[in-house]
Structure 1
Amino acid sequence: MAEALTQSPIVTQGPYYPLADDIPLDKDNDLVQLSDNLNIAAGIVTYITGRVLDANGEPVKNALVECWHADHEGDYVYSTGTGRNAACDANFAGFGQFLTGSSGSFRFRTIKAGLYTGRTRHFHWGVTLPGRSTRSCTQTGWNEVAYANNGTQWTTQNANDNVFASLTAAQKASILLDFLPVEGTTTGEVHTNWDFVSGYTPVEPTYPGSGGFVATGEPVVGPNNTIRYKLTFPVYAGYCYEVYGNPTMADLEWAALPFSLTQTGAIDRHKQVVSAEGSLSIYVEAAALKGFYKVAFRVPGANTGTP
């Protein structure tokens, strides 16, 4: 039941999430093997499956799940401001992403995280729900006594780890996971299942149907010192946009206006289909009554014939 769920604890992101310029092209949910590389990362292959659930225990579609952690020897691939760490396993991706479907499910193939001074074994997770612009970060650990690769017991265990020690008993129980052998494995592969339970109920973005709105035109200098009028307005991916003006009292009909996408470029189009959500600036030559224009938009797939 949803009432029995423990919200996943929100903890520090840490310094090893890759900067925007360092996020690799190979950022899928397989951290063990890079692109077409025939070699795989050193360490025990580990499978993690689970779901992203909202505050009501319902699965969340289109949640971005991100995973990053240290390699077999305890080195991170990425560190703030340094790019890829040359000391890290060259075959280890170190970072991966997965976008959930309607069941809220995710799946990662990685390795058992290595140990480094000051921390016990752990995975970092970032989950961004639809309608939110920031990721929620948590960490999961192994429900075990941690041993270094040379067989000696590690100094920092779950009980005295500086991140895990700050959690409540219920929170610890929700993120210290049991890893079981994969059935039929001959190489020691293990797996676990873990659900990320958010404290939020996601808000699915909504988009308008076909319609229009009024926008003002800002006078700017065009080619050869002519005057153009700049209109800037929000746009949605896949929508088609057109602009109409009413330049004189003698002609009260809205007239479709050609425009340019640059301040001094050719006036060469009557409509524009945008590829990404954001804002669009267009430039027209015709002055509108009192400086106002009508911007019309059509939903993706609508008839976009010449206006």
Structure 2
Amino acid sequence: MHLNTSKTYDSRRRFLRKLAAGGAFLSVPGLFAEAVASVLSTTPSTTQGPYYPLSSNIPLDKDNDMLSLNDASTPASVGIITYLTGRILDASGSPVRGALVELWHADREGDYIYSASSSRNSSANAAFQGFGQFLTGSDGFFKFRTVKAGLYVSRTRHNHLAVTVPGQTTRYCTQTFWSGTQYDLNGNAWANQNNSTDTVINELMTSGYALQDILDTLALNYTTIDAATGAQGGYFEFRPGKTPVQPNYPPGGTGGLVIAGAAVAGPTNSTRFKLSIPAYTNYTYEVYSNPTLFGAGSGVTNLSSATNNLILPASRTNFGWGALPFALSQTGVINTNKFTAPTNGTLNLYVDAKSAKGFYFVTFRVPGANTGVP
């Protein structure tokens, strides 16, 4: 297991975090984010774990709304709706643009979508996406709508988070936890696997981290943000300790892959949007558009302005980027969310969804790198 053991502390953040746990800043714009900032200057790195889904297990729909699998409404029985938001910060504490953030965790019953076969785990809730990803805008913010992670033997309640910072070719993984005692579906305290006896937390302690510093950094205070639905929200500042290097594209050039998209005729009198890019052998491509989650039309309309400071940046003009599935032909089936170019040449990708801001972002990875902006 790779561990980053940088231990530079900020006592002011520690003090503010303790106040935040008591709700002191929930009504003061801008202060809550400071209050829940990481205590450690670099977020501890943990194992990716055995349940990062295989490519064949990842759903076609892998955006940041993990409750809306293939744009369908998810039944309430899927679990407690949970909003996880935060920022990706570089080694100097500045927000990172173009960081690929990945989230995966167990469903309400404690099952992951991962399986060792080509199909997803049949025990996992069929309505739960199980994995999502998000590309940060210039403010470094990320946001996910999901469910409260379930419990299973040997672990406390936790989420897996990974970030690939521009200029890096591997994801930096960590895990976040819930502060306080956790309870199973029968209302019984999960006493034998609480945060102080969790296997991953103990591995971090063995590597030299103090338990309280781990909990101050990785155990989040989730609060109820919608009394009607019981939805909860938590905030996390992810500091992988990496300095981003924004890429040029094509290789050696100064261009980029921000594309307007040309409207073309799709199947059965529909409209699609054609994205044409210069592709290179063994480069892998994904399509992103501005998501509406937390924006106009998101359905999140009953949150107070104070609550919005918990889950949103001060300005919502920069939404970041949500992943989109695409087709490889103008009238073909939308059945791809990642494509590796077999040869050099022009690559045409077709999407159904119109971009909220009128343009799309096609990301790429160099051969041998995990998905992200290399």
TM-score exceeds 0.5: yes
Paired AA for residue 33 in structure 1: S
> 146-155 or 135-144: which moved more?
146-155
Aligned to 1:218: none
Deviation at 1:130, TM superposition (A): 0.7
Deviation at 1:189, TM superposition (A): 0.7
> 85-94 or 146-155: which moved more?
146-155
Aligned to 2:103: 67
Paired AA for residue 194 in structure 2: Q
Gaps of 5+ in 1: 211-235, 239-272, 283-307
Q: Which has the higher contact order (CA 8 A, sep 6+)?
A: 2
Paired AA for residue 205 in structure 1: P
1:104 and 2:140 are equivalent in the alignment: yes
1:185 and 2:188 are equivalent in the alignment: no
Cα distance in 2, alignment partners of residues 160 and 82 from structure 1: 34
1:194 and 2:197 are equivalent in the alignment: no
Deviation at 1:21, TM superposition (A): 2.8
Deviation at 1:22, TM superposition (A): 2.6
1:143 and 2:179 are equivalent in the alignment: yes
Deviation at 1:195, TM superposition (A): 0.7
Aligned to 2:247: 205
Count residues with an aligned counterpart: 222
Deviation at 1:3, TM superposition (A): 7.5
Cα distance in 1, alignment partners of residues 132 and 104 from structure 2: 7
Aligned to 1:285: none
TM-score by length of 2: 0.55
Cα distance in 2, alignment partners of residues 45 and 98 from structure 1: 18
Aligned to 2:44: 9
Structure (1/2) with the larger strand percentage:
1
Aligned to 1:166: 203
- Contact 1:132–1:202 under 8 Å retained in 2: yes
Aligned to 2:285: none
Cα distance in 1, alignment partners of residues 90 and 157 from structure 2: 27
Aligned to 2:126: 90
Deviation at 1:153, TM superposition (A): 1.7
Paired AA for residue 124 in structure 1: H
Cα distance in 2, alignment partners of residues 32 and 24 from structure 1: 12
Select 1:44's aligned residue among 63, 76, 80: 80
- Contact 1:8–1:171 under 8 Å retained in 2: no
- Contact 2:97–2:137 under 8 Å retained in 1: yes
Deviation at 1:63, TM superposition (A): 0.3
> 38-47 or 68-77: which moved more?
38-47
Cα distance in 2, alignment partners of residues 3 and 202 from structure 1: 23
**What are the equivalent positions in structure 2 for 1:272-291 lying under 5 Å apart?**
275-278=278-281
- Contact 1:16–1:80 under 8 Å retained in 2: no
Deviation at 1:201, TM superposition (A): 0.5
Deviation at 1:32, TM superposition (A): 1.5
Deviation at 1:20, TM superposition (A): 2.2
1:34 and 2:76 are equivalent in the alignment: no
**What are the equivalent positions in structure 2 for 1:251-290 lying under 5 Å apart?**
275-278=278-281
CA gap of 1:114–1:276, structure 2 versus 1, over 3 A, is same
What secondary structure is seen at the aligned counterpart in 2 of 1:110? strand
Deviation at 1:156, TM superposition (A): 0.7
Q: Matched residues, percent identical?
A: 48
What secondary structure is seen at the aligned counterpart in 2 of 1:46? strand
- The structure with the largest alpha-carbon Rg is 1
Aligned-residue CA RMSD (Å): 2.5
Cα distance in 1, alignment partners of residues 93 and 187 from structure 2: 41
What secondary structure is seen at the aligned counterpart in 1 of 2:153? coil
> 195-204 or 78-87: which moved more?
78-87
Aligned to 1:119: 155
Deviation at 1:19, TM superposition (A): 1.5
CA gap of 1:274–1:163, structure 2 versus 1, over 3 A, is same
Aligned structure 1 segments of 4 or more residues deviating by more than 6 angstroms: none
Paired AA for residue 276 in structure 1: A
Aligned to 1:58: 94
Aligned to 1:255: none
